């Protein structure tokens, strides 16, 4: 059994269940038998390109989400155009603190494919419960990550609610470190309002403890800077 076939099969099963579709229902959408789809999900047979696109279309996702394989090591995408923090990285993590429910929101970013020297296609899976199945999350976003001399910009669109846009700005990503602060701008539906919030990005999974929560919360220094500039900012 090919590892790639198995990973693609696992991805199909994850996104099928996320859409609350049975094998029978998906087989009707892509005109394949239930037994064939079951073999796809188990990684027992390879999938042709046309069928991959048909399955992705039926699941209302990007085909790259099916063929993406989480890296077994950090060095995955290396480019001279990538700043130090992102160089050699195809997956990274991010953390927010939700003051409405007083809990950490965890995110996984997958860098799918490079489109040009400064931009790559990216997925963000927000508020997952199980890291092994992080694609099964509360909100999924797709978009692009762009690198510039002084900053990195991530633009995002909610995969299920396209009217919801979000973005992340990361300052000085050319300086390497294990973590990096960013400012997340988005839209809250509980209550309905535009928001800006601190986001801590990391190359590895962080321990979710009191120390991390204190980092993610708005500090006295953040408030001082807010009063000084009349802007919420992170550095």
Q: Which of the four pLDDT bands, split at 50, 70 and 90, describes residue 1? A: low
What is the per-residue pLDDT across 125-146, written as a single tens digit (0 to 9) for each? 999 999 989 999 999 999 999 9
Residue 117 predicted with pLDDT over 70: no
Residue burial 122-150, b: 16+ Cβ < 10 Å; e: rest: bbbbbebeeeeebbebebbbbbbbbbeee
pTM of the prediction? 0.83
Average pLDDT over residues 164-178: 92
Under 8 Å between Cβ of 171 and 151: yes
pLDDT at 75 exceeding the cut of 70: no
> Cα Rg for the chain, rounded, in angstroms?
19
Question: What pLDDT is recorded for position 73?
Answer: 41
């Amino acid at each position: 059994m090919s590892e790639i076939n198995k990973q693609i099969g696992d991805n199909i099963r994850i996104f099928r269940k996320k859409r609350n579709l049975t094998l029978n229902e998906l087989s009707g959408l892509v005109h394949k038998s239930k037994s064939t789809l079951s073999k796809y999900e188990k990684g027992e047979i390879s999938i042709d390109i046309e069928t991959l696109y048909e399955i992705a279309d039926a699941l209302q996702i990007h085909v790259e989400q099916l063929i993406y394989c989480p890296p077994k090591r950090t060095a995955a995408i290396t480019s001279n155009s990538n700043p130090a923090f992102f160089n050699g990285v195809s997956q990274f993590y991010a953390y927010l603190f939700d003051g409405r429910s007083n809990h950490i929101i965890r995110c996984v970013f997958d860098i799918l494919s490079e489109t040009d020297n400064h931009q790559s296609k990216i997925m963000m899976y927000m508020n997952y419960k199980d890291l092994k199945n992080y694609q099964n999350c509360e909100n999924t976003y797709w978009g692009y990550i762009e690198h510039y001399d002084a900053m990195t910009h991530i633009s995002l669109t909610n995969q299920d609610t396209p009217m919801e846009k979000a973005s992340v700005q990361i300052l000085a990503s050319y300086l390497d470190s294990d973590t990096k602060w960013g400012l997340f701008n988005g839209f809250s539906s509980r209550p309905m309002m535009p928001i800006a919030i601190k986001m801590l990005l990391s190359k590895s999974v962080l321990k979710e403890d009191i120390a991390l929560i204190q980092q993610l919360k708005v500090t006295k220094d953040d408030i001082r800077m807010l009063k000084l500039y009349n802007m919420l900012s992170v550095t």
